[in-house]
Amino acid sequence: MDHVIGIDTSTTATKAVVIDRDGRVVAEGVQEYDYQIPQPGWSEQDPGLWWEATVAAVRSALSAAEIDGAAVAAIGLTGQMHGLVLLDDAREVLRPAILWNDQRTAEQCVDIRRRVGAQRLIDVTGNDALPGFTAPKLLWVRDHEPAVFERTAHVLLPKDYVRLRLTDELALDKADGAGTQLFDLAARDWSPEVLRALELDADWFPATHEGPTITGEVSAAAAAATGLRPGTPVVAGGGDQAANAVGVGAVDPGTMALSLGTSGVVFTATDAPTTEAKGRVHAFCHAVPDRWHLMGVMLSAAGSLRWHRDALAPEASFEALSEEAGTVPAGSDNLFFLPYLTGERTPHPDPMARGAFIGLNVQHRRPHLTRAVMEGVAFGLRDSLDLMLAAGTPRPEQIRASGGGVRSTLWRQILADTLDAEIATVATAEGAAFGAGLLASVGAGWFVDTQEAVRTVVATTPVAEPGPDRERYADAHRRYKELYPALVDHFHGA
């Protein structure tokens, strides 16, 4: 048994990666699927898709690795955070899962603040109430689908539904649990106080476990479906951002990670529960025992560049757009872009925020717009970094970056200049699935703890360092921060 598998149940696909004892990804399998938008601002998905995709992805990965299930020592799980999966007492799905990017619960967020107390909510859970979290989704079902709410017996998150299908066990890791806003952050478990205030049945919520802890074994039925060995241990794993941080080695204080995918994330590990005073930066448990983390999230990072390409240059590749943007000086000749195309979370928890180009003149061309999009995303990530620094985290000398956006040499340099830190990448681009596999390797006994696993297999390569445009971007960021307050009334139709 010289391999482990990490399984990532994301919003649009499930990925299974096979990792050997040296930390090399030897094969992967991917199965894509879609999600539904029943109404504007809603986002739902059939949990059955996740299991069907898991079966297909695992079988594909085993075949590509030219191994069978007997070669797999353990499995780690990760996936999209905050989604609501409701089961009845027969463990059957009651309704489509409500996903992390669903925005229907503004009224329930107000109700949560009223019931718990706005400041008390931040003190206990580490976060303000936001539409994306699990707790307001539960209250929405209570308010709008009482028949479903009455039949509820179990509440799971997306990857933990996959765990149930793999092992017949109801379990949840502490990192993902903290993202429900029903956790006591310091205690690393469900908060009796919050559950009472929201009138939620504590028996609905499964036992929680640290990331490398074994939570069950692959059942005979799941083994027959996937090709895995019956009895293969399955560890708790972690939500996708915590698992991604493990994959890039951000497991101890002083190490910061950045993810530049559809959304953008700045992530730093802490050795104690740390919160930002107004809850503008998320504070969750890490997938690593005795570790927590702060996380700033922007909803449309590389997604902003994709929108820009699809809307204005559908014939162009991202590489070509990046290359031509490099012909424009830093600051895009005083053109700014607000990346709030789908609302925002950090630093402005505002689902009504919208994107904008500001400062356009007749001399601006497509390269200016492209560079302004890249810079606007970097400025949004700098907002998260500044809130973390204000909360007491140390200024990073190096940030470990992952995600499709960091393939751009120009974007990496913009990030280094704007964040005033060296940008480094890691050897694998598998992110969360790789991190889940590392947690599985600890559960399999290959390493003493997650820190040893990271030290052994995660290597970084510096790819950009702050250059002469650092001061220019510091000044531009100061001007950028004035734009949302100037436009917020317009966004809200005031």
Same domain, 183 and 316: no
Cα four-point dihedral sign 36, 148, 140, 295? negative
Domain co-membership, 279 together with 388: yes
What confidence tier does 246 reach under pLDDT thresholds 50, 70, 90? very high
Is 41 found in the same domain as 79? yes
Q: Does 299 score more than 70 pLDDT?
A: yes
pLDDT for position 374? 98
pLDDT tens figures, 189-242: 999 999 999 999 999 999 999 999 999 999 999 999 999 999 999 999 999 999
Q: How far apart are CA 335 and CA 372, in angstroms?
A: 6
Cα gap 341→322, rounded to integer Å: 20
What is the rounded CA–CA span in Å between residue 75 and residue 80? 17
Peptide bond into 347 cis (omega under 30): yes
Confidence at residue 40, expressed as pLDDT on a 0 to 100 scale: 85
**Is the residue at 396 inside a domain?**
yes
pLDDT at 349: 87
User: How many Cβ atoms sit within 10 Å of the Cβ of residue 240?
Assistant: 30
What secondary structure does DSSP assign to 156-181, as a single string? E-HHHHHHHHHHS---EEHHHHHTTT
Domain boundary among 180, 207, 241: 241
Catalytic residue list contains 417:
no
Of 375, 363, 384, nearest to 415 (Cα)? 375
Cα Rg of the chain (Å, integer): 22
In a domain, 432, yes or no: no
Tokens of 45: 């998905």
Total domain count for the chain?
2
Given pLDDT bands bounded at 50, 70 and 90, which one contains residue 429?
confident
Domain annotation covers residue 253: yes
Confidence (pLDDT) at 426: 87
Q: What is the pLDDT of residues 441-461, one digit of tens each?
A: 999 999 999 999 999 999 889
Q: What is the spatial distance between Cα 296 and Cα 257, in angstroms, rounded to a whole number?
A: 11
Which position among 20, 240, 383, 417 bears the catalytic label?
A: 240
- Residue 389, domain member (yes or no): yes
pLDDT at 494: 61
The whole-number pLDDT of residue 41 equals: 84
CB atoms within 10 A of CB 118: 15
- Is 442 within a domain? no
CA distance 58 to 77: 12
Let me know whether 379 and 419 are in one domain: yes
Same domain, 64 and 184: yes
Residues 212 and 65 in one domain: yes
- One domain, residues 206 and 306: no
Residues whose CB is less than 8 angstroms from the CB of residue 127 and which lie 6 or more positions away in sequence, other chains included: 121, 133, 181, 275, 279, 282, 283, 284
Residue 433 lies in a domain: no
Q: In this model, does residue 303 exceed pLDDT 70?
A: yes
Tens digits of per-residue pLDDT, 314-330?
A: 999 999 999 999 999 99
For residue 57, give both structure tokens: 């992805």
What is the maximal distance between C-alpha atoms in the chain?
67
Residue recorded with tokens 């790789």: 434
DSSP category for residue 395:
P
Residue 187 sits in a domain whose CATH number is 3.30.420.40
CA distance 92 to 87: 5
- What pLDDT, in 10s, does the model give residues 117-165? 999 999 999 999 998 899 999 999 999 999 999 999 999 999 999 999 9
Mean pLDDT computed over 15-33: 96
When the pLDDT of each residue in the chain is averaged and rounded to a whole number, the result is: 95
Residue 41: closest CA among 348, 477, 342:
342
Which of 187, 220, 241 terminates a domain? The answer is 241
| Within a domain: 488 | yes
Q: Is the pLDDT of residue 334 over 90?
A: yes
pLDDT tens, position by position, 28-83 = 999 999 999 999 889 999 999 999 999 999 999 999 999 999 999 999 999 999 99
The pLDDT assigned to 57 comes to 98
> Which residue range is the domain that position 287 belongs to?
249-426+459-494
Give the tens place of pLDDT for each residue, 256-279: 999 998 889 999 999 999 998 888
Contact 161, 171 (CB under 8 A): no
Evaluate whether residue 155 is within a structural domain: yes
Domain boundary among 241, 271, 293: 241
Provide the pLDDT for residue 405: 92
* Residue 427, pLDDT above cutoff 80: no
Over 21-58, what HEC string results?
A: CCCCEEEEEEEECCCECCCCCCCEECHHHHHHHHHHHH
CA distance linking residue 211 with residue 438, whole number of Å: 10
What pLDDT is recorded for position 21? Answer: 95
Same domain assignment for residues 316 and 231: no
